[in-house]
Amino acid sequence: MKDMKWFEEMEARIPKNEVRTRFAPSPTGYMHVGNLRTALYTYLIARHSGGKFILRIEDTDQGRLVEGAVDVIYKTMAQCHLEHDEGPDVGGPVGPYVQTERRPLYMEYAELLMERGHAYRCFCEKTESEEDAGEFDRGEDPCHCMSRAESDRRAAAGEPFVIRQRIPREGTTTFHDEIFGDITVENASLDDQVLMKRDGLPTYNFANVVDDHLMGITHVVRGSEYLSSAPKYNLLYQGFGWDIPSYVHCSPVMRDAHNKMSKRHGDPSYEDLIAQGYLTDAVINYVALLGWSPGGEQEIFSMEELTEIFSMSGISKSPAIFDIEKLRYFNSEYIRAMSPETFAALAEPYIRSAVKNERYDAAAIAALLQQRTEVLTDIPEKLDFFDKLPEYDSELFVHKKSKSDKDSARQVLELVIPAFEALPAWTDEEILACMVKLAEDMGAKNARIMWPVRIAAAGKAVTPGGAVEICRILGREETLARLRTGLQKLA
């Protein structure tokens, strides 16, 4: 074990007097929605107080390593505007920020803890059989009360061992959680968990406590599945004589009443949602409100606003079910709030996937789309009539609300075709004025004219825009050709 001076130097590196939070993902190659929310809350807690947000990579599970996964994390965090102040890529005063690179530290601290009597070596065989036995009675573990001398001797002799936490057999432990309040448990219900594994690597639980302390983390934000091990963390901090951080345990994001969101069940990850046409800002905004409430009636928040008003007191204790319908709503709100130029740029690939004909202006189509698009991937199917007039039945010309029937439609098309041919210019104004005048002449409502024109032009009942816009974008020649086709159907 290192001498006390070394430990003091480690302590001296720890930044004080600032809020410090950390997001500590395993590099799995994608971001769960639940993880994203945890990362967001973690980020907001730090930023709200002007503190530091730290990224730490938890890669101790070598078996689950995914190549390139760390880069995915950097990319995703940046996309989501969750910029970290310290991390593997940007460095910082308490690095390294990758757990495997911190490996030598943990044994030192485990030995320190043994020195203080809060941990001991256990030479027993792996204890998987205990599961079958049902209960683990640590009183039967002879290593628990083994003398330090014997322990040292057997270790020196090369006998394999794990290091376990020595938990008091009596009394209770109380910890405070920012969301759940004070929770008290009997120490007798806690087990002497393994801190250092047989292979010399720390368990997740131990590595976390050591790293969080050495990195000066003030608010430990994590999933509520760790609630039941929090008392053991407390005992660890106390055993070291360290300050206990604030715990913020967040309930999970669920797919339904019984199951968490999970990739395994086919639930979308953040990346999937983006691929499905959702916008990052909308996802962030929705996820922020999934299990947290600002209290007021506002629902649309920028990252700046979230930072301003975020409070741990608004985080709810119960799990929240992910509702894709509501996310669609947020997405449509964000789309509508965009500048037309931004939307056009974003929508163009989706437009061009359906409209190959370059004569049709993508920006003009985007303008029609912006107010009626919820998710970008909905776009192509709305535009299928541009490149090729669909097959359609003449029954489509019948529309009760505009009092349009096949006879009136035929009359309308017979009049509209020559009128369009004679128009001095092919603009919205000219096209509209032309149809309005026809309506006046016929003594009919505008809809009597526009319904059949739009049907003939598009060949479908629902279009992203009215007759005027559709005709304008199609261009005069194509419009006239389609109107003539419509007329034939009605003959």
Residue 395 backbone phi and psi in degrees, to 5:
-60, -25
Contacts with RNA: how many residues (CB under 7 A)? 85
**d(Cα 122, Cα 111) in Å, to the nearest integer?**
13
Q: By CB under 7 A, tell whether 486 contacts RNA.
A: no
Q: By CB under 7 A, tell whether 165 contacts RNA.
A: no
Q: By CB under 7 A, tell whether 66 contacts RNA.
A: no
For RNA, which is the closer residue by CB, 297 or 358?
Answer: 297
The enclosing H or E element of 36 equals: helix 33-48
Tokens 């959702």, located at residue: 278
Choosing from 221, 465, 472, 479, the residue that interacts with RNA (CB under 7 A) is 465
Q: Fill in the amino acid letter for 132.
A: D
Bridge partners (DSSP) listed for residue 249:
222
Q: By CB under 7 A, tell whether 191 contacts RNA.
A: yes
Structure tokens at 461: 């009942």
Smallest separation, CB 6 to RNA (Å): 25
Q: By CB under 7 A, tell whether 121 contacts RNA.
A: no
Smallest separation, CB 124 to RNA (Å): 6
Cβ 311 vs Cβ 173: under 8 Å: no
Smallest separation, CB 370 to RNA (Å): 10
Structure tokens at 103: 């490996």
Cβ 117 vs Cβ 151: under 8 Å: no
Give the list of residues 6+ apart from residue 128 with CB closer than 8 angstroms, or none. none
- From the list 4-12, 84-92, 107-115, 325-333, the region that binds RNA by CB under 7 A is 325-333
Choosing from 49, 79, 205, 394, the residue that interacts with RNA (CB under 7 A) is 205
**d(Cα 443, Cα 403) in Å, to the nearest integer?**
13
Smallest separation, CB 197 to RNA (Å): 4
Residues 77-116 that bind RNA (CB under 7 A): none
Q: Give one word for 27, left, alpha or beta, with left for phi > 0 and alpha for psi -120 to 50.
A: beta
Binding mask 243-282 for RNA (x = CB under 7 A): ---------x-x--xx-x----------------------
Angle at 217 between CA 2 and CA 199, to 5 degrees: 45
Structure tokens at 211: 């790293």
- From the list 43-51, 189-197, 237-245, 418-426, the region that binds RNA by CB under 7 A is 189-197
For RNA, which is the closer residue by CB, 43 or 247?
Answer: 247
Integer angstrom CA distances of residue 459 from 85, 184, 454, 481: 56, 69, 8, 12
263 is an active site residue: yes
Residues 283-302 that bind RNA (CB under 7 A): 289-293, 295, 297, 299
Smallest separation, CB 17 to RNA (Å): 28
Choosing from 21, 26, 218, 234, the residue that interacts with RNA (CB under 7 A) is 26
Residues 330-389 that bind RNA (CB under 7 A): 332, 336, 371-372
Candidate list 197, 263, 406, 460, residue with the active-site label: 263
Choosing from 17, 147, 318, 339, the residue that interacts with RNA (CB under 7 A) is 318
Q: By CB under 7 A, tell whether 468 contacts RNA.
A: yes
Q: Give one word for 443, left, alpha or beta, with left for phi > 0 and alpha for psi -120 to 50.
A: left
Q: By CB under 7 A, tell whether 61 contacts RNA.
A: yes
- From the list 139-147, 198-206, 267-275, 338-346, the region that binds RNA by CB under 7 A is 198-206
The order of strands in the sheet holding 219-223 is 52-55, 20-23, 219-223, 246-250, 172-177, 181-186
Bridge partners (DSSP) listed for residue 167:
none
Instruction: Just list the catalytic residues.
Output: 263
